[in-house]
């Protein structure tokens, strides 16, 4: 019995069974009254039948593959059957339960399942690779629990109520284990067009930790981009257009390798001989001010550092508070913009006279501005784009890591950070997951095929190309 005949028989059986299960016979003999439950039952019949059809089709292919090898001359001559254990795989079609044969190969001197080896099914996983890839993709923007819930609702039947067990197949721990097993590769850099100026924005985000003596992990982040362009026209209310960074690439790390990542990216992505200037922007933390070292790709390259406008204006706001900002903000900004330190200090002293109980805060913010005075001047006169790093920190990292109370192990945070970076950099996580599995496939070497056809001269069916391929290849782990 071939696949088509077997599936047709199963569809008829399941359809009749579901019609009886949901009492739809009345619809076909005209004895049913007006009742919305009839429509619900109709949808359930279609849902159950289509789901069972997909599971049966999946199972039939696996059985057919196993039977093809079982009937091959190679198997009969060189392989012994040990047993036929049951296995279940959860796919997007539903749970597939099937038996497949375990063989002992006299030539390779080892045991194996032909079906598992041929399709590269992980013997330690209950989940189909498509399910695992989707969980990894969703975990880049949702919690493990939410990712598991979303994927669970995609599995099997589509019509599910809250009391349906299949709605919660994948729990938080299962999703976490799947993500942790994903060996995320390094993405190869792609050569970009020559540019004369590059911008690098820097900042950090602290994330609560587990098993780290209650010390938060510091995510150091960088955004490299080429230019800023208007995405949309100016909004009629605020008068400001929406801006977009061109050639953007986001980096982050909880190790001390962020600088090396950015250095390598610029070197392998751009023709550094044609870069005339690299502009760094940040809040002037010590690690950010020292970050610009080592980026002198050639002797004529200009390195410029400017303060992040957000933190600069935030310091002014802390000095003035809402009480004085309307009357003094423009005066303070003019004094700084005109490079008049004495006038700025005098203005701070005036605020101290008004608010003596806030002296410590005012002096702290005053010193912050004075210590980074030159970088503020660069902000006004040498850096001609606004720094949007704070919004990148919020959307790229805070949104997933600190929006709700959570704590992370070092291993878990590093894995999620890699996934998050793939997501914000526009990479296809599911395709990357499949590429990793493809690279894990066994290396094949063609053997002498002169007698292959004779091995299969007794093959009873013409569709055994898969077993012919197996016989002609020597699988090397």
Percent of the chain with pLDDT over 70: 88
Q: How confident is the model at residue 448 (pLDDT cuts 50, 70, 90)?
A: very low
Per-residue pLDDT at 222: 96
Check: CB of residue 152 under 8 Å from CB of residue 166: yes
CA triple 250-255-257, angle to 5 deg: 65
The whole model's pTM is what?
A: 0.83
What are 103's two structure tokens? 């063989």
What is the mean predicted confidence (pLDDT) over 316-323? 93
Residue ranges of the domains in the chain? Answer: 3-120+441-476, 129-185+428-433, 190-308+387-408, 309-383
Q: How confident is the model at residue 211 (pLDDT cuts 50, 70, 90)?
A: confident
Q: Tell me how far apart the alpha carbons of residues 319 and 473 are, in angstroms, rounded to a whole number.
A: 75
Per-residue pLDDT at 16: 83
| pLDDT higher than 70, residue 173 | yes
| CATH, range 190-308+387-408 | 3.30.420
Q: Tell me how far apart the alpha carbons of residues 439 and 443 are, in angstroms, rounded to a whole number.
A: 9
Q: How confident is the model at residue 33 (pLDDT cuts 50, 70, 90)?
A: low
Per-residue pLDDT at 447: 34
Q: pLDDT tens-digit profile of 362-405?
A: 999 999 999 999 999 999 999 988 899 999 999 999 988 988 77
The string over 256-293, giving b where at least 16 C-beta atoms fall within 10 Å of a residue's C-beta and e elsewhere, is: eebbebbeeebeebbebeebeebbbbbbbeeebbebbe
124: enclosing H helix or E strand:
none
H helices of 85-128, in order, are 114-119
Q: What are phi and psi of 302, to 5 degrees?
A: -95, 130
What is the mean predicted confidence (pLDDT) over 422-431? 95
What are 349's two structure tokens? 């002293």
Per-residue pLDDT at 210: 85
Per-residue pLDDT at 27: 67
Q: Tell me how far apart the alpha carbons of residues 397 and 421 are, in angstroms, rounded to a whole number.
A: 9
**Per-residue three-class SS string for 348-416:** HHHHHHHCHHHHHHHHHHHHHHHHCHHHHHHHHHCCCCCCCHHHHHHHHHHHHHCCCCCCECHHHHHHH
| pLDDT higher than 80, residue 135 | yes
Per-residue pLDDT at 201: 96
Q: Helix or strand or coil: residue 147?
A: helix
Output the CA–CA distances (angstroms, integers) from residue 154 to 36, 120, 150, 176, 433, in the order listed. Answer: 25, 23, 7, 18, 19
Per-residue pLDDT at 229: 86
What is the mean predicted confidence (pLDDT) over 3-28? 78
Output the CA–CA distances (angstroms, integers) from residue 320 to 350, 364, 415, in the order listed. Answer: 10, 13, 42
435: enclosing H helix or E strand:
helix 429-440
- 9-13, 338-342, 459-463: the lowest-pLDDT one: 459-463
For the chain, the distance separating the N- and C-terminal CA atoms, rounded to the nearest angstrom, is 35
Classify residue 130 as exposed, middle or buried by CB count within 10 Å of its CB (0-12, 13-18, 19+).
middle
Contacts of 93 (CB under 8 A, 6+ apart): 51, 54, 55, 57, 58, 155, 156
Name the nearest CA neighbour of 464 among 55, 118, 104. 118
Percent of the chain with pLDDT over 90: 57
Per-residue pLDDT at 21: 81
What are 387's two structure tokens? 């720094």
Q: Tell me how far apart the alpha carbons of residues 291 and 256 are, in angstroms, rounded to a whole number.
A: 11
Q: How confident is the model at residue 232 (pLDDT cuts 50, 70, 90)?
A: low
Rg (CA), the chain: 32
What is the mean predicted confidence (pLDDT) over 227-236? 72
Please report the sign of the dihedral spanned by the C-alpha atoms of residue 59, residue 20, residue 154, residue 182: negative
Q: Tell me how far apart the alpha carbons of residues 213 and 55 are, in angstroms, rounded to a whole number.
A: 49
Return mean pLDDT, the chain.
85
Contacts made by residues 107-110, CB under 8 angstroms, sequence distance 24+: 107/78, 108/475
Per-residue pLDDT at 458: 39
What is the mean predicted confidence (pLDDT) over 15-25? 79
Q: pLDDT tens-digit profile of 361-373?
A: 999 999 999 999 9
Q: Tell me how far apart the alpha carbons of residues 39 and 33 are, in angstroms, rounded to a whole number.
A: 12
Q: How confident is the model at residue 237 (pLDDT cuts 50, 70, 90)?
A: low
Per-residue pLDDT at 158: 85
| pLDDT higher than 90, residue 330 | yes
Greater pLDDT, 8 or 29: 8
Strand partners, 305: 280
Q: Tell me how far apart the alpha carbons of residues 113 and 100 are, in angstroms, rounded to a whole number.
A: 7
Per-residue pLDDT at 239: 58
Per-residue pLDDT at 470: 41
- 119-123, 224-228, 323-327, 387-391: the lowest-pLDDT one: 119-123
Per-residue pLDDT at 451: 40
Q: Tell me how far apart the alpha carbons of residues 54 and 57 are, in angstroms, rounded to a whole number.
A: 5
- 273-287, 409-423, 459-473: the lowest-pLDDT one: 459-473
- 51-65, 66-80, 106-120, 448-462: the lowest-pLDDT one: 448-462
Q: What DSSP string describes 271-296? A: -GGG--EEEEEE---HHHHTTTTT--
For residue 235, give the DSSP letter.
Answer: P
Per-residue pLDDT at 461: 38
92: enclosing H helix or E strand:
none
């Amino acid at each position: 019995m071939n696949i088509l005949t077997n599936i047709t028989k199963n569809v008829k059986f399941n359809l009749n069974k579901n019609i009886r299960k949901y009492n739809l016979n009345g619809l076909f003999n005209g004895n049913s009254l007006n009742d919305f439950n009839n429509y619900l039952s109709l949808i359930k019949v279609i849902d159950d039948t289509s789901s069972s059809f997909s599971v049966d089709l999946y199972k039939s292919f696996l059985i057919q593959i196993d039977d093809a090898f079982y009937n091959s001359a190679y198997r009969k001559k060189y392989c012994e059957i040990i047993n036929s254990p049951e296995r279940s795989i959860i796919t997007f079609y539903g749970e597939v339960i099937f038996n497949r044969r375990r063989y002992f190969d006299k030539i390779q001197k080892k045991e194996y399942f032909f079906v598992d080896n041929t399709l590269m099914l992980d013997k330690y996983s209950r989940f189909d690779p498509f399910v695992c890839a989707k969980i990894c993709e969703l975990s880049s923007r949702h919690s493990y629990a939410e990712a598991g819930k979303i994927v669970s609702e995609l599995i099997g039947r589509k019509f599910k109520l809250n009391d349906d067990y299949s709605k919660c197949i994948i729990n938080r721990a299962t999703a976490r284990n799947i993500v942790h097993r994903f060996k995320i590769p390094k993405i190869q850099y792609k050569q970009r067009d020559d540019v004369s100026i590059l911008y690098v924005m820097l900042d950090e985000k602290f994330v609560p930790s587990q098993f780290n003596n209650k010390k938060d992990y510091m995510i150091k982040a960088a955004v490299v981009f080429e230019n800023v362009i208007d995405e949309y026209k100016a909004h009629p209310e605020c008068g400001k257009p929406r801006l977009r960074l061109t050639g953007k690439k986001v980096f982050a790390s909880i190790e001390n390798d962020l600088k090396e990542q950015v250095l390598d990216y610029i070197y392998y992505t751009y023709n550094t001989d044609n870069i005339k200037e690299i502009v760094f922007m940040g809040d002037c933390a010590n690690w950010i001010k020292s970050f610009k070292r080592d980026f002198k790709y050639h002797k004529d390259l200009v390195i410029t550092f400017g303060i992040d406008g957000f933190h600069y204006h935030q310091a002014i706001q802390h000095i003035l508070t809402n009480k004085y900002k309307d009357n003094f903000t423009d005066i303070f900004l003019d004094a700084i913009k005109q490079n008049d330190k004495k006038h700025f200090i005098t203005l701070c002293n005036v605020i101290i006279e008004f608010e003596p109980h806030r002296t410590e805060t005012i002096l702290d913010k005053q010193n912050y501005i004075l210590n980074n005075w030159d970088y503020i001047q660069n902000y006004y006169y040498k850096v001609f784009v606004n720094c949007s790093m704070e919004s990148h920190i919020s959307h790229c990292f805070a949104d997933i890591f600190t929006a709700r109370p959570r704590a992370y192990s070092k291993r878990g945070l590093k894995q999620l950070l890699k996934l998050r970076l793939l997501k914000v950099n526009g990479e296809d996580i599911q395709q990357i997951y499949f590429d990793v599995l493809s690279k894990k496939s066994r290396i094949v070497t063609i053997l002498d095929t002169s007698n292959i056809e004779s091995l299969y001269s007794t093959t009873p069916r013409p569709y055994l190309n898969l077993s012919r391929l197996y016989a002609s290849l020597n699988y090397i782990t």
